[in-house]
Structure 1
Amino acid sequence: MALWRTIGLSSRGTVARCSLQNSSTRSLSAATNQEPVYELRTYTVYPDKMREYLSLTSEEFHLRTAHSKVLGFWTSEIGGLNQVVHIWEYESLAHRSTVRAKLAGDKEWISRYVSRVAGMWQQQDNSLMTLLPGTSLALPSGTGVYELQTVTLQGAGWSGALRNYVRACREGEGARAVEGTALVGAWKGVLGPASTAVLLWRHQGPDSCVALRGVLESLAEDSSLTPHLRSGHSKLILPHAVSPLQ
């Protein structure tokens, strides 16, 4: 007698259970190998509260970074007034949910920081991103200023064009064209504005932003984003004291 009949199971039920177990194993494996996700947050602060907000952030922000990793925290100098920009790294959206739940129950974080700064925020925006496939972060050392470049793309093949653009910026004709300028990371939007890419640059000084623009506009056609560009926006952002990237 077949084993499944001996223990009171049908062969169909056994196959179904094995299939379910294999599917669960594959899902677990996929989750384990999942690429990190990044949350871009932009807060607009009331002008008369900015100094107080930044001071309090310097004192208490360690309560937030005890829960998860912040890639950088900047203030906007040009391209958005009275704004702070921060990028957070999570293992997955599930990890983010866990962190947010813990923050909601962290009495010190709520009482010493959130309750004191919430009234200073005029507006909050966020979006979810993943690294552009085939790319990685190139975290710089030393100090400098940063540029956050956001582009909205259109037309067939824009993903490939974006990869060619990043490759040219890092390895090809655009690489090291401006001394002290480097591409830190390139992301594709997942949740938030559609068909967007976000690029983070580090410069030695603010004038490098202007020099870089000339270089990018002169890239060869197969490396240029111009044919796919619907809109774009750049911000000159300065690292705050709490930022790991300086």
Structure 2
Amino acid sequence: MLVLRSGLTRALAARMPAPQVCSSFASGPRQNDGTFYEFRTYSLKPSKMNEFLENFKKNVHLRTAHSELVGYWNVEFGGRLNKAFHIWKYDNFAHRTEVRKALAKDREWQEQFLIPNLALIDKQESEVTYLVPWCKLEKPAKEGVYELVTFQMKPGGPALWGDAFKRVIHAHISLGYSKLVGVFHTEYGALNRVHVLWWSESADSRAAGRLQSHEDPRVVAAVRESANYLVSQQNMFLIPTSFSPLK
């Protein structure tokens, strides 16, 4: 047996190349471009919701001059009430930085909306999300109502639960129980979180479709598989505002 002295071992180790880290940044596939969607939720003081939304309606053109508004909704059911939920689209993080700087210098926006209405807001929340690679943002052909379903998945990312989750979504789509608007994976915020935005013609049509899907063995089988990776789920029923691009 050949035994190397500690000094020789250290010398040989010093000559060896450092090990390379070969893991990807994300724990699963993602969109190739840098476009992301910021989910913002404002909790308004009771009785101030209508005032806030009217103020935003009058000044929305000042805000959308800087970046694209995807949709703006009232939270009708699910969690705390008096909430405004909105989605903003950015080309990349540099774009968002430019927008925030421009808004800080926009005197009209600051004086007409931001400063007068800050007192109406109790809480603000923000998440950065990407569309999953197999999904495009869809715009419904007519007005309706929306449901945001938030799934908190087990740690491991899409590499662990992505395929099973995809099968659940496709099962619902293929059977025509709901119209998919988008599936978003959180990058900043609570990780391993997926938001699914659905459109329905009305609250009653949504309820009828949900009942049908729960009785369909194909949907039930896909849901049971995905449930193995599920930690929690929350649903919010959303009513689009009059100035929301998604109606």
Q: Same fold (TM over 0.5)?
A: yes
For 2:85, the aligned partner's letter is V
Q: What CA deviation, in whole Å up to 9, does each residue of 1:73-130 have, x standing for no partner?
A: 0001111300000011111111111111111111011000001110000100010100
Tell me the matched-pair count.
Answer: 208
Among 174, 187, 206, the alignment partner of 1:209 is 206
Q: Which runs of 5+ in 2 are unaligned?
A: 1-31
Determine if contact 1:72/1:245 at 8 Å carries over to the other structure: yes
Identify the residue that residue 162 of structure 1 maps to in structure 2. 165
Displacement of 1:220 in angstroms is 4.3
Q: Where does residue 6 of structure 1 map in the other structure? A: none
Checking the alignment, whether the CA contact within 8 Å between 1:44 and 1:124 is kept in structure 2 is: yes
What's 2:35 paired with? 36
| Cα displacement (A) at 1:147 | 0.6
Q: Counterparts of 2:111 and 2:132 in 1: how far apart (Å)?
A: 38
* CA distance in 1: counterparts of 2:37 and 2:240, whole angstroms: 18
Shift of 1:188: 0.6
Separation in 2 of the partners of 1:60 and 1:133? 34
Cα deviation, 1:22-69, whole Å, max 9, x if unaligned, reads: xxxxxxxxxxx6241000000000012112111111111110011000
Deviations 1:126-165 (A, max 9, x none): 1010001121112112110111111101266211112222
Conserved in 1, the CA contact under 8 Å of 2:155 and 2:192? no
Q: 1:169 Cα shift?
A: 2.5
CA separation of 1:216 and 1:126: change in aligned 2, threshold 3 A: farther
Match of 1:124 in 2: 124
Q: Matched residues in 2 for 1:211 and 1:53: separation?
A: 33
Secondary structure (helix, strand or coil) at the match of 2:47 reads helix
The share of aligned pairs that are identical, in percent, is 33
Counterpart amino acid of residue 158 in structure 1: W
What is the aligned partner in structure 1 of residue 135 from structure 2? 135
- Tell me the equivalent position of 1:109: 109
TM-score where L is the length of structure 1 = 0.79
The answer as to whether partners of 1:168 and 1:223 remain within 8 angstroms in 2 is no
The 1:215/1:193 distance shift into structure 2, 3 A limit, reads: farther
Give the distance between the partners of 1:134 and 1:101, measured in 2 at CA. Answer: 33
Match of 2:28 in 1: none
Q: List runs of 5+ in structure 1 lacking aligned partners.
A: 1-32
Deviations along 1:160-208, one digit per CA (max 9) or x if unpaired, are 112222222223xxx313xxx3010001111001110001111111123
Code of the residue aligned with 2:143 in structure 1: it is T
Cα separation, 2, equivalents of 1:44 and 1:83: 5
Given that 1:132 and 1:163 are in contact with CA atoms closer than 8 Å, whether structure 2 keeps it comes out as no
**How far apart are 1:209 and its partner, in Å?**
3.3
* CA–CA separation in structure 2 for the residues paired with 1:56 and 1:68: 19
Corresponding position of 1:9: none
